[in-house]
Amino acid sequence: MAEIMMAVAGAGGRMGRMLVATVAGVAGCRLVAASETPGSEHVGRDAGDVAGVGAVGVVIQPQAEALFGAGRVVIDFTSPQATLRHCDLARRHATGLVIGTTGLKDSELGVVQAAARDVPIVFAPNYSVGINLMLKVVAQVAATLGDAFDVEIIEAHHRHKVDAPSGTALGLGRSVARAMRRDLGEVAVYAREGQTGVRKSGSIGFATVRGGDIVGDHTVLFAGEGERFEITHKASSRMTFAQGAVKAAVWLAGKPPGFYTMNDVLGF
């Protein structure tokens, strides 16, 4: 079986380094390109050395174009602006994309979906197998409990995370809202301060914690009269996200154009 050629965007970042290490350790996968923003201290260095796994013979480039080529899959955990640029490059070079970038606005997600008409793309707010199972479970619980229970979503991440709530928290909120036949945009509450009044029935609340080196904790709380039901997932290592993303990249190789999710990858 031919090796699957993979490239990693943002190879000097926390997730980028983990992705490089994961690709390097998976049989049947070969890292063929890596990039970082121009001016990064990692540009010009071997991606494996930066990731701490030893030289892999791939030098980190400052041009995103170096990632793209027919038959490759690019793994992108960068920024919304960079991801939109990568979607354009993917279309031009017939390259598959696995996107884990968070903080995308609806209009930006629309650009990703449009690109998927020409190239295969897997998009997910979180590549942990556990989180993707959680997305399905919270929907089932929400549909069963109905309006008798209030829903709150609590998430915690490291001090360096720049968007809030997390993409995973929003994904959980959308999953709950769909199950309860609501529009998250209409019922979400992202901040509370001062005299807020009583809780509005049917709303879905979000609470955000930022501090230290927390990898990612997510809880969906269903609060009823006399009882509470909580579903929690805690990630102790970014490796779980990297392993899921590489699994998605292996699955995506050779697929026709389309907008895919981890439900497709995992066969849910």
Residues of the chain with pLDDT under 70: 1
Q: Which helix (H) or strand (E) holds 170?
A: helix 167-179
pLDDT in tens, 122-141: 999 889 999 999 999 999 99
Predicted confidence at residue 238, as pLDDT, reads 87
Cα 243 from Cα 20, distance rounded (Å): 11
How confident is the model at residue 189, as a pLDDT? 97
CB neighbours of residue 114 within 10 Å: 12
User: ∠44-49-53 over CA atoms, to 5°?
Assistant: 155
pTM of the model: 0.83
pLDDT at 1: 60
27 three-state secondary structure: coil
Fold of 4-123+238-266: Rossmann fold (3.40.50)
C-beta separation of 72 from 84 below 8 A: no
Beta strand ranges found along the chain (DSSP E): 4-9, 29-35, 60-61, 72-76, 96-99, 120-123, 150-157, 188-189, 204-210, 216-224, 227-235, 258-260
User: How far apart (Å, rounded) are the C-alpha atoms in residues 136 and 132?
Assistant: 7
Q: Please report, for the chain, the start and end positions of each structural domain, with discontinuous segments joined by +.
A: 4-123+238-266, 129-235
* CA–CA gap between residue 197 and residue 208 (Å, rounded): 20
Quote the DSSP letter at residue 204: E
* Paired tokens of 161: 């995370």
Alpha helices in the chain (DSSP H): 14-25, 47-51, 80-93, 106-115, 129-145, 167-179, 184-187, 239-252, 262-266
Count Cβ atoms below 10 Å from residue 190 Cβ, excluding itself: 14
Topology of domain 129-235, per CATH?
A: Dihydrodipicolinate Reductase; domain 2 (3.30.360)
Contact 263, 122 (CB under 8 A): no
Active site positions, annotated = 157, 161
